[in-house]
Structure 1
Amino acid sequence: MALQKTLIVVVGPTAIGKTALAIKLAQHFDTEVISADSRQFFKEMEIGTAKPSTEELAAAPHHFINSHSVQTLFSTGDFESQALLLIESLFKTHQILIMVGGSGLYIDALCKGLDALPDTNMNIREQLNLQLANEGIEAIKSQLAEHDPEYYAKVDQANPQRMIRGLEFFLSTGTKLSAHLTNSKKIRPFKIVKIGLNMDRAALYERINLRVDQMMSAGLLEEVKSLQAFRNYNALNTVGYSELFAHLDGDLSLAEAVEKIKQNTRRFAKRQLTWFRRDDSTAWFEPNQQDAVINHIVQQIS
C-alpha cells in the first residue's frame, strides 16, 4: 500500500482515451474518479462533451460529472475549493484517488492552487456576456488587448470565458489581472503523480474526426437545438456547440458546421498538449500502455 495519500492525475488531449485509463486505474486501486473536465460538470451538455457512458460511470464511482447546471456560475476557484473538500473526504476511506481531465486550468488549480484575487462586479460580467452575444468575441478581444496586453498574450484567445474574466477583472478593479497572477505554488497535503497520454498526431486526429461523426450520429444537433435558450451562457460558448448554433442561425451548412467542429477540436487538442507538456513532472505514455502506467504508479507510491 501507498505510504502517503496520493492523487493520480491523468491528463492529455481530447479523444485520446483518458476516461478508459482512469477507470482501469480506479478498478486496479479500488478507488474513485474525480473529473477535471470543465464541460462535463454541466448536466445539460451530454453528447457534445463526450461524458463517460452509463456503463463507464457504473464501472467506477465518478465525481463532478453532471454536478452543475449551465445556469450556475462555476469558476476555476469554485472547482479548487470544492474538489479539495471532496478529496479530503475521500481520503478518509481511500489511500489513492484518480483525477482525470483535459482542462489544464482546472488541473493546475487543484494541484498548484490559484492566486487569491479581489472580488469582481457580477453586473460587469453579465454586461460582457451580453456584449459577447451581440458583437462576438472580437469585441472582447480588442478591449482585453488594450487594457491588459500581458494577460491577453498568454490567455487562450479561443476561450471567451477566460477573456471575459480578464476584462471583467480590469473593469471591476481598475488593475490588470496579469499583475495579480504570481504563479506561486501551494503545498497540498497529499502526493501528486501525473500521467500524460499522447500518441501519433495523425492517429489522434483520426480519433477526433471519428468521435465528432459519432456525436452527430448520437444526436448532437438535436441536443444543441434543445439548448438554444441557454446559448448565451459561458458553458455553451465552446467547441461542438458554437458551430451548430451558427448552423441553426443559417451562417453555416450542416456539413460546414461538422467540419468546423472537427477542425476546432483538433486545434483544441493541440493547445491541450502544449499546456500539459510544460509540466516536467508528468510521465508520458500511449493509450495502449495501461499496464506500464500501473507499474509506474506503483513505483512512485512504494
Structure 2
Amino acid sequence: MQKTLIVIAGPTAIGKTALAIKLAQHYQTEVVSADSRQFYREMEIGTAKPSQAELDSVKHHFINSHSVTDEITVGDYETEALEVINQIFKTHSLAVLVGGSGLFIKAVTQGFDALPKAPPAVRQELNDLFTGEGILALQEKLRVLDPDYYEQVDLSNPQRLIRALEVSISTGKPFSSFRTNQPEPRPFNIIPIGLNTERRLLYHRINHRVDQMVEAGLLDEVERLIPFRHLNALNTVGYTEIFDFFDNKKSLEEAIDSIKQNTRRFAKRQLTWFRKDPEVHWFEPEQTDEIFSYISNKVR
C-alpha cells in the first residue's frame, strides 16, 4: 500500500481531535498534531488539548512537546513533522495529521518557503511596538508594507504579523514576495478531509467550549502564566482576554464574551483558508461512516 497521510482540517471546536483518534485507532497508526498552540506544555486548558484519556488511546506527536519559552517557526515544524511522519511510515502505511493551523498543515503537505533571517533588533523593535501600542499597530504597519499578505494573514496572530514585518523591514521587500507558493512534491499520498457544519451550530460549539474552559480552571491557568505573558506563545485568543481581566481592563463576563467572539472570528478565518484548497473533501463532523468509506476508496 502506498504510504498515505490523512489530513483532518477545519475550524476550532468542530471535532477534529475525535475524528483523528477514531481514524488512528481504526488504521492502527499515530496522530501528528498541526495545532500551533498545543505544542506548549504550560498551555493546557486554553488550547483545548486532547484529554489524557484521548492521548493515551493513540500515540500523539507535537502535544506538550515544547515550552512557551521555545520559539517554533513554521519551517522548524515542517522539518520536525516530516521526520516524525517518515518514522511512522517505517512501520505503518497510514498516518493522521490533524489541526486547525492552516500554515502548519500547508508546510507539511506542500512545503514552506525559506525566508531570510532578520536581525534580532528588528524583532525586538516590533515586540516593543506590540507591547506599547497593541496588535492594531502591527496590523496597520503590515497593511502599508505588504497589502497582499495583509489580506491573507490571520490578523489576530501577532507572531505571524511580527514575522512578516521583520522580513519586510530587514529586506526592504514585501514578505509576500518571498513566498513562491510552489508545492514541494511529497513521497506519500495525501487525503485532505475538512470538517464543518452550519454556522449556528459551529458558534454554539465554540461558545460551549469556552464555557467548559472557564469551568475547568482557565483563569487559574492564565494567572500562572502572567510571568510569561510577554512571550509570543501567550499572545493568543483565550489568554490575552483573561490578561485584560487581570489588568482590570475588562470584567470577567466581558473577557469571556471576548474569547467567544474572537474564537468565532478565528473560526471564520480558518474556514476561509481551508476552502481555498480544492483538494479538501468536506464532511459534517457526524458523518463518520461516510468519511471512513471515502478514505477507504481513496486508499484502494
Tell me the TM-score normalised to structure 1 length.
Answer: 0.97
Aligned partners of 2:145, 2:192: CA distance in 1, in Å? 36
Report deviation, 1:52.
Answer: 0.2
Alignment of 1:74-113 (within 5 A): 74-113=72-111
Q: In the alignment, residue 265 of structure 2 is paired with which amino acid?
A: R
**C-alpha deviations, 1:237-270, integer Å up to 9, x for none?**
1110010001111110000000110111111111
Alignment of 1:26-175 (within 5 A): 26-175=24-173
Other-structure match for 1:283 = 281
Aligned partners of 1:262, 1:196: CA distance in 2, in Å? 22
Aligned partners of 1:118, 1:167: CA distance in 2, in Å? 12
Count of matched residue pairs: 300
Aligned partners of 2:163, 2:248: CA distance in 1, in Å? 30
Give 3-state SS (helix, strand or coil) of 1:126's partner: helix
Contact kept in structure 1, 2:75 and 2:114, CA below 8 Å: no
Other-structure match for 1:238 = 236
Aligned partners of 1:152, 1:194: CA distance in 2, in Å? 26
Other-structure match for 2:16 = 18
- Stretches of structure 2 that go unaligned for 5 or more consecutive residues are none
Give 3-state SS (helix, strand or coil) of 2:7's partner: strand
Aligned partners of 1:141, 1:266: CA distance in 2, in Å? 19
Aligned partners of 2:166, 2:173: CA distance in 1, in Å? 10
Percent of aligned positions that are identical: 58
Alignment of 1:192-203 (within 5 A): 192-203=190-201
Aligned partners of 2:146, 2:287: CA distance in 1, in Å? 43
Alignment of 1:285-300 (within 5 A): 285-300=283-298
Tell me the TM-score normalised to structure 2 length.
Answer: 0.98
Aligned partners of 2:269, 2:144: CA distance in 1, in Å? 24
Give 3-state SS (helix, strand or coil) of 1:69's partner: coil
Report deviation, 1:174.
Answer: 2.2
Higher mean alpha-carbon deviation, 144-153 vs 36-45, is at: 144-153
Give 3-state SS (helix, strand or coil) of 2:151's partner: helix
Other-structure match for 2:181 = 183
Q: In the alignment, residue 301 of structure 1 is paired with which amino acid?
A: V
Give 3-state SS (helix, strand or coil) of 1:150's partner: helix
Aligned partners of 1:242, 1:33: CA distance in 2, in Å? 29
Aligned partners of 2:194, 2:187: CA distance in 1, in Å? 22
Q: In the alignment, residue 99 of structure 1 is paired with which amino acid?
A: L
Contact kept in structure 2, 1:130 and 1:232, CA below 8 Å: no
Aligned partners of 1:123, 1:7: CA distance in 2, in Å? 40
- Stretches of structure 1 that go unaligned for 5 or more consecutive residues are none
Higher mean alpha-carbon deviation, 139-148 vs 59-68, is at: 139-148
Q: In the alignment, residue 55 of structure 2 is paired with which amino acid?
A: L
Report deviation, 1:121.
Answer: 1.7
Aligned partners of 1:196, 1:29: CA distance in 2, in Å? 19
Contact kept in structure 2, 1:129 and 1:233, CA below 8 Å: no
1:272 matches 2:286:
no
Report deviation, 1:145.
Answer: 2.2
